[in-house]
Structure formats: structure tokens, C-alpha cells
Structure 1
């Protein structure tokens, strides 16, 4: 259902049962995504989102190793831990 929303710039998936965000790959205009209290534990699908500037997460939802790898790949993105 999100495929037709290519101009979407903000997406809030807080408190959802979403686990996999790889299906968001067509939303290249996203500037902000909030995944707090969701079940996402892999941020790697977001690495190629060139417009992305901010990601909000709940503490502990992504392993420290995966979080560090994402930060190294995209140091320009502000990660907000809630």
C-alpha cells in the first residue's frame, strides 16, 4: 500500500508489529522515519535512502553492532534513541 507514496517524506511506524522495513525501498524521498517500539531490528535497508536525515528508535531494539554499522555507513543521519 505504500508503493504509490513516492513523495512521502515522513513515516511513523511507532508501536507497530512491523519487523521488516526492506519493503520501504521505493520511498526514496523519506527524510524522517520513526520506528520506536516497533519490532524492527535491522536498519540496513535504510542505508540507501539518500534523503534520510533522522531515524528515531527505542533503546535496545537494534543490537549495538548493527547500530554502529549503520552509523558508520550513514554518519549524516541523526539517530534519536527514545
Structure 2
């Protein structure tokens, strides 16, 4: 096995889809070659909270409103049931 020449380079890709906030951090590459382990400098991944937080906020509010409407409808049905069976 020959050592890797200094003018030769390799490119490695690490595709990551469906990112979440927990995926943020620094990713390092390590390659074992010629009896040595070579470490990369690392790539920092920052995930902006803006769009994700806005979507989550809308989802939470819509869920709260939906639950309130369902509780009101249920209360109306219970009141109608009780009034008819008196």
C-alpha cells in the first residue's frame, strides 16, 4: 500500500436530510490510511430556529384552538342530551 500523495485529495459527502435542531453541531471526518488516522478540521452545522419555531408556534396554537372548539361542541351536546332526558 502506497502512501497518499500530498497533491492528491479526496472529497467525502455525508448527506443528511430532514434536519432537526438536535442535529446542530460540529461534524468531523476521520480516514484511516497507510497506518495513520487523519482527522478533518470539522464542519459546523448551525440550524436556524426562525422558520422551525414559527411553524411550531402556529401548530401549537392551532392545536389549542381545535381542542377548545371540540370541548365547546362536546359541552353543547351534553347540555342538549341532559335537557332532553329530564
Smaller-chain TM-score bracket = under 0.3
Higher RCO, 1 or 2 (CA under 8 Å, sep at least 6)?
Answer: 1
Please tell me whether Structure 1 or Structure 2 has the larger radius of gyration of its CA atoms.
2
Q: State the TM-score, normalized to the length of structure 2.
A: 0.19
TM-score by length of 1: 0.19
